[in-house]
Amino acid sequence: MSKRIGFALLVTIVQSLVLVFPGWATTASSLTVSTNSVNFGTVSVGSGAQQQIRFTSAAFGATITAVSVSGTYFTASGFTPPLALTRGSSAVLTVTFSPRSAGAQTGKIVVTGRGFSTAVDIALSGNGIANAKTISVVPSSGSFGNVPLGSTNSQTFTVTNHGNAAISVSSEAVSGAGFSMSGLASGSKIEAGKSSTFNVAFEPTKIGATSGSASIDFSASGATTRLTVSASGNGIAAIVALKVSLSSMSFGNVAVGKSSSLALKLTNAGNSKLSLTRPAITGAGFRLTGGLSGLTLEPGQSDSVEIVFEPTAKGSVSGKISILAGSTTTSVALSGTGTAAEPSSPSHTVLITWIASSSPSVAGYYVERGTISGGPYEILNSSKDTETSYVDSTIQNGKEYFYVVVSVNNGGHESKPSEQVSVTIPSP
């Protein structure tokens, strides 16, 4: 009787073991996922899209020990492994696709852990597209044509923000010898719906064709968009040429004490900017009204100056005006005849004196006269006066005159005008 009882107990124990172990094995894979692939479709470059994946534990629970993401521009967030999930509980993983360039992208999420027998693989895909309407630049390229060495040609570009948020400049870069950019420095902002400008300049460093580009990186909401404009130009040899309207100027007969004037037109016939200095005039009685010092002519640009003949004695007078343009001197012959002075009322003269400059480099002085306070003034002495006084005998009765003195050094550089003095000539 006791042997049968023992055998029955042994059978019961074996049956219990069979029930427990098979039951544990059927729940070894107990993690389910809401999807095994995520497709983000088309997403504009510089923006982002998100989708969620839900992981749910069944049976005895599971522990997620690692989540890895592969593929460009894909990221995942939501929980940090290790994460223990009890039976029936869930966790959500947020996947983001933020393309920084156009084109199709693929990737994968791999989830591993305990409580599920194999890793969970989730395929990722998306397509980045360029949103041309967010930021635009006009024109899209710059052609600077032929530019002489030593000269600069520039072009203005307009950037428009078509978005609904402000954009700011994060960086800028220029490539190509001789190209430079200005106008939109780092940190500059363009508000939504607004425009701003920048300039690209080309100053060739050599003769021949040159190409380059100007790029600006704009940032908004953590995304970066680059605008690039191509640039091209051709360096050519600089040509300096001054063209004058007359090769000679004849003033005819002019009574002593009277004056006659003729206009001389100057044109920049070269391809480079032309800067002129004060010309030299020879011949008694010839002078220049106004001055050429500091006058700059762009290619093709013209200006006129007035030459005056005011004889001091009877007889024929000849002279010339010499204008230095670059390394070339252009001369115009001057001629006139002084005739007997016309009867006139008593004449007057004005004596102008000044204190010599203390600068050792001063080579002489120019005396300038005007009929309006503050100028403009005309030069009275055609060549530098080394004295500290000047007699003006070319005045008219009953008029008021204003005088300034300018010093000039050995290199031809002039000082600022002195303080103005005035005098009124008595009427007869």
pLDDT tens digits, residue range 36-89?
999 988 887 777 889 999 999 877 788 999 999 999 999 999 999 999 888 888
From the number of C-beta atoms within 10 Å of its C-beta (0-12, 13-18, 19+), residue 330 rates as: middle
Is 106 a residue whose pLDDT tops 90? yes
Backbone dihedral angles phi then psi of residue 24, each to the nearest 5 degrees: -65, -40
Is 3 a residue whose pLDDT tops 60? no
Question: In order of start, what are the domains of the chain with their CATH numbers?
Answer: 31-129 (2.60.40.10), 135-236 (2.60.40.10), 242-339 (2.60.40.10), 350-424 (2.60.40.10)
Predicted pLDDT of residue 208: 95
Is 367 a residue whose pLDDT tops 90? yes
What whole-number distance in Å separates Cα of residue 290 and Cα of residue 372? 13
What whole-number distance in Å separates Cα of residue 102 and Cα of residue 64? 34
Token readout for 117 is: 């027998």
Question: Roughly how many angstroms between the first and final C-alpha of the chain, as a whole number?
Answer: 170
Which among 187, 191, 32, 202 is positioned nearest to 122, based on CA atoms?
Answer: 32
Predicted pLDDT of residue 22: 32
Which of 82-96, 283-297, 344-358 is predicted most confidently? 82-96
Predicted pLDDT of residue 66: 93
pLDDT band at 221 (very low <50, low <70, confident <90, very high): low
Predicted pLDDT of residue 292: 65
CA distances from 344 to 146, 284, 351 (A): 60, 22, 21
Q: For residue range 171-216, what is the model confidence (pLDDT) as tens digits?
A: 999 999 999 999 998 889 999 889 999 999 999 999 999 999 999 9
Average pLDDT, the chain: 85
Token readout for 361 is: 């480099």
Q: For residue range 120-173, what is the model confidence (pLDDT) as tens digits?
A: 999 999 988 765 457 889 998 999 999 999 899 999 999 999 877 889 999 999
Q: Taking the C-alpha atoms of 298, 299, 301 and 305 in order, what is their torsion angle to the nearest 10 degrees?
A: 80
Predicted pLDDT of residue 342: 66
Beta bridge partners of 123: 37, 108
What whole-number distance in Å separates Cα of residue 44 and Cα of residue 371? 70
Predicted pLDDT of residue 423: 93
What whole-number distance in Å separates Cα of residue 120 and Cα of residue 110? 6
